[in-house]
Structures are given as C-alpha cells and as structure tokens.
Chain A
C-alpha cells in the first residue's frame, strides 16, 4: 500500500458571511466576498493529518478544483499538516458549471494516478449542500464508501467506521482502498498557526494540473435557471388541533390524551 491519502478541499464563501443574491438572479455575489475552506473539508484534512501523526499513513495530498484562488485553500491545508498540494485548474465558465459529477471524475482519475489508499472528503459543501461527491467518487472507482463518518480507525487493511445516520450510530467495517466523508463530530480541526503558514508559503509544494479531458467537464451539466433569496418569514397560522394540544400540555394532563388528539 502506498500509504497515500487524497484529501479534497473546496473553496467556498465563508460560513459567517451574509449571502446576497446578484441583482440579475443568476447566482450569489462572490466578488470581494470572504472565502475560506469548507468546514467539513477542514475536518477531513484534520483527520488525514491525525492519521499521519499516528503513523498509519505516509503522505497527505490536498486536492482542490477551481480557479487560481483555490491555491489559498490548498495552502491552508499545507499549513495544517498536509505534505503536498494538487491544484486542478478550472476557471471561467467551466468553474461555474463545476458540480459533484465533474469533481468526482477528476478525483477518481487523480486517485488512480497517485495510487491513493484512501480518499477523505467533507460530507458536503456549505455552498451547494450536494452531499454527492464522496458517493460518486466511490462509485466511479468501485471502492467501498464510509459516509458521515464520526469515528475512523484503521485496522490492518480494513477501516472501522462509525457513521452518523438518522436512527443513531452505525458501525461498519470496510476494505481499503476506500472513500470516507467526514461529518461534524469526527474531530476539531486545528488552527493553521502562523509559523506553519509561513513555512507552507516558502515551500512551493503545489502542482498545477489541467483537466485532461474537456469533455469530462461538460458531461451531466445541470442548467441553472434562477437564483432567488428565500422569502421573509411570515407569521404562523393557528390550527385548532395545535391549540388543543398546547392547552392539554399546559394543563399537565397525562400523555394518552395527547396521542388521541394526534390521531384525529
């Protein structure tokens, strides 16, 4: 096993920024707006670096698909402890149309090229909330996938995973190579300290890649019709059933009565 882990990192609008829709409704305002690494990608990078510190893997490679500015995101990953960076240069119209399907094709190709043992991604990006890239990448490579991971441990050539699902926690064991997507409680990402950032700026460990097949970026494009801001919240309407339930609860009557109300 190469002991190499690929971590996908995406440059998104910072979570604290108030999003505003462009006046022509073709998207959101990104010009001059603060961007940073997707929070779930940060968790993925942290997990990869932790595995390296435990000496379970040998090298962490951070990958980002996007325009020139994506290099900042890669550098943040380097400052957090990644060894190398790969910037897949996608800009202009291609970047606007870049979605999970296209990115997963790129990641799959890179995984084969770099002989990766593991791909770590965030479970979803906070700008499009797709939650698809990890799953698609695994399918393209025909690798097992462990999504919404809140605990990861390597055991020989297998991975023990705890997944956060609607019903609770699911424990699974999958083979390597595999794709894992990180959920919120997997870890708490470290700060990229200033000395580490300065080191990463001096070592130019980022390679530039141009996507090989332009066609791979054009497949499966989803046309965007319109972007609108959500409507302002209106007040709620009072339904008699709800009021009944409310008064019953307030008066402290036993639960059986509440259940019968629900059945009405």
Chain B
C-alpha cells in the first residue's frame, strides 16, 4: 500500500484535510535500461505495421468476428505469449514492455480484448499459481496461439459478488476426477477457447468442519461436457467472442487443480489484479491516435471563416485529450515499473487506481473526439463512433469501477485503521466487539477478499466513525476519488521531474500539462490549456516524449 490517508475525526472531510505520506518508491520515475529501450523500439515496429496495414477494424466490427488470417497474423507475430517465459515458448517480456505493446494493440478494441482475455487473465492462473507440470503441459501451445485460453468466473447470479458463485466441483468416487457442473456467462473467447481457467465451489474440511470453498481448475474443452452458447450481440468490441458456457459433469483430473483446493478465490483476485494496469497504456495509446485523427479535421475544417482549431472550446478538448493521455501514460508506466522490480510487490491498489482513471478518462475523451467531428463523427464512415462503443465496456469489465472504488477506499481505510487503533485509547468492549465482528465479515464478503481490514485493533478497539464505514458508499467514493487523483498527480510529478532532469524533448510541454492537471485554478488553467492545445494542434499529434525514453 502506497498511501495512507491519516484521517481525522470525520471521514466526510477527508478531501479537505487529508494528509498523506508518499513512499520513496515513486521517485525517481522508473527507468529501463538502454538495451531494453532498444528492444522495445524494435518490437513495436512490426506490430504497428501489422495494425496499420493488415487490421481492418471496420470490417471486424461490422462482421462481429476477427478474420482467421488476422488472428493467424497475431499468432505469428508472437502476441499470444508476450509474458509467458521463454522456456515455455513465449516472449518472456516484462510488464513494462507488455504495457508498451498494448498501446498499439488497443487500436482495435476487439483484438485487444481477445488477447487480454487469453493472456492477461485466461492463462495467468497457470502462470502465477500453476505447478511445473501444468506449465510444461499447457503453456507452450498457449504461447504459440495454437490453444486459446479463457477465464471463467462470472455466472448469471454472480458478477461483482464473485464469492457467491454456484458452479460446483465434486470429487468422483475413485478420487481421480472432479466433476464440474454449472454455467458461466460473459466469457470472452468462450466460443473458441481450448483451455479454460474455471472457478467452482468445492467441499473442504477445515478443522473437522465441512466448508464450501472456491477452487481453480484448468479445464480442457477436450474433456467433454462443455457447451458454448451463441456469441453475444454486443454494443462494442463486437469482434471479440463473448458467450455463455455450460458445464455438464465435466471430468477434470485432480492434477489440474491450480494451487490448493479451496484457494481459488485468492488466485482469482491475484489474476485480476495483475492484469489491470495495462488499461492505462491501452487508453493512452488510443487517445494519442484519436488526437492525430481529430486534429487533422480540426485544422482543416472551417466555420465562420476560421478553422475549428482556432476556437477555445475546441482547443479545450484537445488539451483535455493530451492531458488525459499524459496522466494515463504516467500512471501506467509508474505502476508497471514498480511491478517489474525484483520481488513480488503487491501493486493491486495502484493497478485499480489506474484502471478507474483510465476507463473513465478514456470514455470522456472518446466522446469529446467524436464531438469535434460533429455530425461526421456520428456516422459509421468514421471510426469515432466505433471507438465510443468499444470504450463503453471499460468501466464495466475487469472489476466495475464502483467495486474498485470501494476496494481503493477501504484498503486505504484499513491502513489508516491500523495506525489509528494504535493511537486511540481503549473504548468500551462487549457490544462493540460483536458489531465489529459483523462488520468485518460483511466487508470480507462484499469485497470477496479475505482481508483483515484492521478496523478492529486488539481488544476490539475501533474509531467510532469507521464502524459503519462499509455502508457509506458515497463517502467511500469521495475518498477513492481523492486517492486516485493523488496517485495521478504523483505519477505526473515523478515523470515530469525526470523529464526535466534528463532533458527529454518537449519537457516544458510536460510541465505545462502537469500544471493544468494538478493546479486547478481557472485563471491559471485557461492559459495552460491554450498553450497545450496550440502545440498539439500545430503538430497534429501528441507531442510529449514517451515516459520510457532516455537521453543517455
């Protein structure tokens, strides 16, 4: 946990009085070596070429399917195994390079989701929690794309409330197989996946008591008993295959359990947490492309004898897009840089903040880009309406933004709670102790994580304002928003200071962007916005240097 808002007496006033401690990990901004930068440049080139020459996004959207040649091209490029280690046939690349490649892959939403469903969540379970035998057996074909993976957690009755899934896995009589029964919904790649990570309830014995806990299984379509429903007819990302999956007594060998029986939920949360951060770079890449497309139009279209780019309200839109792209890049690469450090750092909080900011910022930017083109943007002759439709899913999947805000705020509270309980004098025990117990259990269930929120210190002591905090969603929302904004400012400060120190191209533009973002006084801001917009429109592109760039 990076931040601890040391709250005062009333959580409602947190936005006015919060003080926070920044840990040293965010300054200086993470850097990669010259060799790795060289590698990235080389890797990015053919992917960019492929997406500009051989990907017909309009056709994919219209026909609601990715053509087999395009899919094969992606497999040949090696994009199905970016983070799988080389010994299993993948590229073994770091989180940072994965994020960088996602900037390009995001240009087509359907392809981005298909690839992410395959490697960011579908096979991640095997990667982070599988044993050597499972990795050797499954990863090579997944890396080459011969087999496609899917992540099967959500059910008709269990979306955000993932802990309540009903799919069951019962041990066969001979003890060699689990039989899985149930149905899953909204499964990306569900219609074409060969290998699925399926989560089901299993009966376990804990201290002699039989309990129902969730376990994770590697299920092959070849095991039989699996039926895919017809592909869902979606608003956006129409080329990505999404469908229902039914499991009817599917026999899964006991060797295919990922991790331990009963440990599935934690694995699910780890998988989801580790894939989120790349949404920052995906959205940034998409917005940068939109800036290019939109500025072309704004500088040539004339009304009232002036080109659109001369009007303040249009300039504001460009400044906003450039700003958002800047912040998203900064946050994404700060997070990936931290994740790439040795050891296994837990960046789930930061990843959640990146996801919330990027999904909402992306939605706004895409809408404003369409607005610049007016009526033309509303037609299918231009790609803007497709970007809008594709982006609408971002605040919904990979953890809805509402749930993630709860997670962000409560994790912060937990940390604060730990600090507070150490300092607050003992209060009455007894009744409060019981109430606290209930609150903790409720929290655990609603978040789905078995997390000790520390709201109860030793002897059941807790600050009275934090007792019922779980139900105060509106308060928590404000806390989360503050935290996300703080992280965004930190990322931007860290990146801009590095840019100035090493003299990256256009670092003064970065400082301008930083000020426009972080210091929100209208008088200062108008000048900054005009300045940013002028440079973006002159160059007809986003002009900040990439945060991974080096000058030495």
Contact = CB atoms under 8 A, between A and B. Distances in A.
B45 A201 contact: no
Contact of A192 (B41, B46, B52, B82): B46
Contacts of B91: 194-195, 198
Interface stretch (B55-63, B73-81, B255-263, B344-352): B73-81
A193 interface: yes
B50 A201 contact: no
Count chain A CB atoms within 10 A of each CB in B47, B73, B78, B82 and give the residue with the most: B78
Interface string B1-45: 000000000000000000000000000000000010011011101
B540 A201 contact: no
Contact of B42 (A16, A18, A75): A75
B45 A36 contact: yes
B38 A191 contact: no
B49 interface: yes
A84 B294 CA distance: 43
A58 B347 CA distance: 51
Nearest to A198: B91
B135 interface: no
A236 interface: no
Contacts of A79: 42, 46
Nearest to A200: B42
A232 to B, nearest CB: 12
A191 B77 contact: yes
A229 B387 CA distance: 34
A201 B49 contact: no
A250 B91 CA distance: 62
A239 B42 CA distance: 53
Contacts of B49: 191
Interface in A191-228: 191-195, 197-198, 200-201
Contacts of A36: 45
B46 A72 contact: no
Contacts of B505: 31-32
B141 to A, nearest CB: 15
A194 B78 contact: yes
B52 A197 contact: no
Given A16-B52, A18-B540, A193 B39 contact: no
Interface string B76-93: 111100100000000100
Interface residues of A, number: 18
Contacts, number: 47
A195 B50 contact: no
Interface string A140-175: 000000000000000000000000000000000000
A76 B333 CA distance: 26
A200 B45 CA distance: 14
Nearest to A20: B539
A194 B43 contact: yes
A32 B73 CA distance: 29
Contacts of B79: 194
B45 A195 contact: no
B547 to A, nearest CB: 15
B78 A201 contact: no
Interface string A76-96: 100100000000000000000
Nearest to B296: A18
A177 B45 CA distance: 34
A193 B77 contact: yes
B46 A197 contact: yes
A82 B252 CA distance: 47
Contact of A76 (B35, B38, B42, B50): B42
Contact of A193 (B38, B78, B82, B540): B78
Contact of A197 (B35, B43, B50): B43
A29 to B, nearest CB: 10
Interface string B428-469: 000000000000000000000000000000000000000000
B46 A194 contact: yes
Given A16-B52, A191-B73, A197-B46, A72 B41 contact: yes
Contacts of A195: 78, 91
Contact of A191 (B35, B41, B76, B82): B76
Nearest to A189: B49
Nearest to A79: B42
Contact of A194 (B47, B52, B73): B47
B42 A193 contact: no
Nearest to A31: B505
A197 B42 contact: yes
A197 B49 CA distance: 14
B292 to A, nearest CB: 10
B45 A192 contact: yes
A76 B46 CA distance: 9
B41 A193 contact: no
A201 B77 contact: no
Nearest to B73: A191
Contacts of A31: 505
Contacts of B46: 79, 191-194, 197
Nearest to B79: A194
A203 B39 CA distance: 13
Contacts of A75: 42
Contacts of A32: 505
Contacts of A16: 52
A198 B39 contact: yes
A192 B48 CA distance: 11
A186 B52 CA distance: 22
19 contacts: A32-B505, A36-B45, A72-B38, A75-B42, A79-B46, A191-B50, A191-B73, A191-B76, A191-B77, A192-B45, A193-B46, A193-B78, A194-B46, A194-B47, A194-B82, A194-B91, A197-B43, A201-B39, A201-B42
List of 5 A-B pairs having minimum Cβ-Cβ separation, nearest first: A194-B78, A191-B46, A195-B78, A192-B46, A197-B42
